[in-house]
Structure 1
Amino acid sequence: MKKGYWVVAYRTVGDEAMMARYVALAGAALRPLGARTVVSPRSAVTAREAGVVQATVVVEFDSYEIALAAYESEDYKKALAVLGPEVERDFRIVEGA
């Protein structure tokens, strides 16, 4: 079974308190689904070609189907509700090779 990944690039972020609330709720929602953060938003980013240096997060799941279901889960929707309109993300769910 192929793994699933969330690949998220933050174009703009909110204040630290809001992001801390989101991270806490998202972590609580995703841990039971076996999610593992493999790239943290504090990781170094080197942009090439048309890339832009942005805070980037990669979360790994045991399958693509779990990655899809995690995004649609009620608990994750509660985490999403914390993000204000000032947060803009490029969010992709991808299947591993």
Structure 2
Amino acid sequence: TTGAALENWERAWTGSPSGLLRPALLGDGAVRVLEIRDETGTPRGGAVLHRGAEAVGISHVWASTGEAAVRDTAVAHAATTGLPLVGYE
């Protein structure tokens, strides 16, 4: 993932790139930015996972359609760590 891809992710999430998610985030091995795309490659959902010592935090969850797909992808990814998944809505 690149800074430009992160900007596109944020644009799809908020409608415009606000710079909330900084490209330096991509270099953090404890952070995963998830994206679900449709058949045309257009982002349709995403989430940010942050692995801590005792849990994986989930934030910035969004979906234009099919929120269950985003949630299921995040849960599956977090499950590979063996840590609980925590978040808020």
Interval of TM-score (by shorter of Structure 1 and Structure 2): 0.3 to 0.5
Question: More relative contact order in 1 or in 2 (CA 8 Å, sep 6+)?
Answer: 1
Structure number with larger C-alpha Rg: 1
* Alignment TM-score, normalising by the size of structure 2: 0.33
* Alignment TM-score, normalising by the size of structure 1: 0.31
